[in-house]
Amino acid sequence: MDFITIIDYIGTFAFAISGIRLASAKRFDWFGAYVVGFVTAVGGGTMRDLMLGCTPFWMSNVAYLIVSGLALLFVVGLRKYVVKLNNTFFIFDAIGLGLFTVVGVEKSIAAGYPMWVGIIMGTMTGAAGGMFRDIFINEVPLIFRKDIYAIACVCGGFIYYLCHYLGVAPALTQFVAACSVIVIRILAVRYGICLPALHAEDDSKR
Structural domain span for residue 26: 3-192
Q: What is the pTM of this model?
A: 0.85
Q: Is 202 a domain residue?
A: no
Q: Is 198 a domain residue?
A: no
pLDDT of residue 202: 60
User: Which stretches of the chain score pLDDT less than 70?
Assistant: 1, 82-89, 146, 200-206
Q: Is 205 a domain residue?
A: no
Label residues 84-97 b or e (16+ Cβ within 10 Å = b). eeeebbebbbbbbb
With contact defined as beta carbons under 8 Å apart, do 163 and 172 qualify?
Answer: yes
Q: Is 199 a domain residue?
A: no
pLDDT of residue 85: 62
Q: Is 74 a domain residue?
A: yes
Angle formed by the axes of helices 88-110 and 30-51, nearest 10°: 30
71 SS3 class: helix
Q: Is 206 a domain residue?
A: no
pLDDT of residue 88: 65
CA-CA distance, 61 to 79, in Å (whole number)?
28
60 SS3 class: coil
pLDDT of residue 200: 66
Q: Is 197 a domain residue?
A: no
How many domains does one find in the chain?
Answer: 1
pLDDT of residue 55: 94
Of 74, 77, 66, 105, the closest CA to residue 92 belongs to: 74
pLDDT of residue 141: 86
∠ CA 97-100-103, nearest 5°, is 155
Q: Is 32 a domain residue?
A: yes
pLDDT of residue 194: 85
Chain Cα centroid distance, residue 32? 20
